[in-house]
Structure 1
Amino acid sequence: MDAPTAPQLTAFVGYQQVAQGPRDVVLAELRRRQDNPPAVVFDDLSGDRVELEAGTACGDAPPEPHAGASRHARGVGRPRLGVVAREVTLLPRHWEWLSRQPGGASVALRRLVDDARRVYADRDAVRASRESAYRFMSTVASALPGFEEAARALFAGDPARFAEQIHDWPEDVARYARHLSAGSWAAAPEHTA
C-alpha cells in the first residue's frame, strides 16, 4: 500500500489565486505577502477549506493533542490491522443473515463494503468531484453571475453548460473550478431508461 501523500493546497485572496502546493509552501507564501489580506485555503482533492495556523513556523508539526491525551491509549479492535470498533444498527433479519455467513458478521460486512466500493468506485468519484467543486464555488464564487446555473450544470453532469456559465468568471476562479470538477465529467455514469 502506498504511503499517503501530503495534501496539495490552493490559496485565494478574493478571486485571485495567490499560492499553491504543499502546506508549508502555501503557508510560507501567505506569510511572505506584505499586504496580509485574509486568504481562503482549499484542499485540492476535497475542495474543503483548510485552516492554516499562521503562528507556526513552516515545517512545524501540527500541534499535539491536548496534554491529557495519552499517545499509547488503545481502543477496542485489532490495532495492528487498523480495525476500529463502531456501532452498526441493523434490523433483526440483517443480523440473522450476517450470523450465517462464513467468518461471522464482521468478515461479511467488510466483504460487502469492499464489494460496494469496487462496484460504485466510478460513481463515488464523480460525486466526490462534484461536491469538491461545489464547496469551492459556494465559498468563492457564490456572488458571481451564473453561479446557480453553473451549480445546476455541475450536478446535472452537463460540462458544456458548466463551462458556459463560468466562462466570464475571474480567470483563477474559473480555472480552479474546472480543475476540481474535472472528475465530474471523466467517469460520469450513463443513465439508462
Structure 2
Amino acid sequence: MTDRRYAAFAGLHKLAEGPLAEVALAVQAAAAAGSDAPLLVFEDATGRVVDLDLRGTPEQLRARLGTPRGKGRPKLGVTAREVTLLPRHWDWLAAQPGGASVTLRKLVEQARRDGAQQRRAAQEAAYRFLSAMAGDLPAFEEASRALFADDRVALAARMAGWPGDVAAHALQLLDAQPEL
C-alpha cells in the first residue's frame, strides 16, 4: 500500500504526484488557497478518482493517511486477509511445497508478470483517467480507440492539442506497471 502512487489535478494542470499523504497535503493547500479549479486525485494503478477528507491540520491529515497496521507480518509488508476456496482447492494448496501462503504468493507473482494482463490494466487505468479529465476534449473518442488498439503513435497524435499535463499523465499511466 505504501508503494501506491497518486496524482492530483487542479483543473487540467497537474498539482502533485507521489504517495497519498504528500498529494493530499498539496490538495489541502490548494483548497486553502482558494483554488477555483476543480481538485481531483487519481490513483495511478487504477486511474480511479480518490475521495479525500481534507479536514484538520496538515499533521492530522498526514496521521489519517498513514499506513494502516493490520494482522500479518508488518515488517515484511504482509497483510492477513480471508480467502474462500473449495475444499479441493485447500487440499491442493496444502500438498504444495511451502503450504498455502507460499503457493498463493507464487501464483500472484506469476500473474503479475503476465504482460497482457498488465498491459490491459494500464490501458484501463489510462482510460478511467482520460474519461474523467478529457471526456469533453476534442478527439476523445478517437484517442480512446487508439488507446485500446495499443497504437501509441495515434494516441499521441489525438492528444496533441490537449493540455500537456493531461496527455503526459495518460502516457505515464500507460507505461506504468500496475500492481494486482
TM-score, structure 2 normalization: 0.69
For 2:2, which of 4, 22, 44 is the aligned residue?
A: 4
Are 1:31 and 1:54, in contact at CA under 8 Å, matched by a contact in 2? no
Q: Distance in 2 between matches of 1:4 and 1:163?
A: 31
Which digits, 9 at most, give the CA deviation of each residue in 1:71-117, with x for residues without a partner?
99x86x6777635141333473x444334323443443333333433
Task: Please state whether the residue corresponding to 2:129 is helix, strand or coil.
Answer: helix
Measure how far apart 1:163 and its partner are.
Answer: 1.1
Are 1:41 and 1:51, in contact at CA under 8 Å, matched by a contact in 2? yes
Give the aligned partner of residue 16 of structure 2.
Answer: 20
Measure how far apart 1:45 and its partner are.
Answer: 5.1
Task: Please state whether the residue corresponding to 1:20 is helix, strand or coil.
Answer: strand
Are 1:137 and 1:177, in contact at CA under 8 Å, matched by a contact in 2? yes
Are 1:10 and 1:44, in contact at CA under 8 Å, matched by a contact in 2? no
Are 2:14 and 2:165, in contact at CA under 8 Å, matched by a contact in 1? no
More helix by percentage: 2
Are 1:98 and 1:104, in contact at CA under 8 Å, matched by a contact in 2? yes
Count of matched residue positions in the alignment of Structure 1 and Structure 2: 168
Q: Taking CA–CA contacts closer than 8 Å with sequence separation of 6 or more, which of the two structures ends up with the larger relative contact order?
A: 2
TM-score, structure 1 normalization: 0.66
Give the aligned partner of residue 98 of structure 1.
Answer: 93
| Structure number with larger C-alpha Rg | 1
Give the share of equivalent positions with the same residue, in percent.
36
Q: Distance in 1 between matches of 2:158 and 2:134?
A: 12
What stretches of structure 1 of length at least 5 have no aligned partner?
A: 65-70, 185-193
Measure how far apart 1:139 and its partner are.
Answer: 0.7
Which digits, 9 at most, give the CA deviation of each residue in 1:155-185, with x for residues without a partner?
221101111221222333223323322348x
> What CA RMSD, in Å, does the superposition of the two structures yield over aligned residues?
3.5
Give the aligned partner of residue 58 of structure 2.
Answer: 58
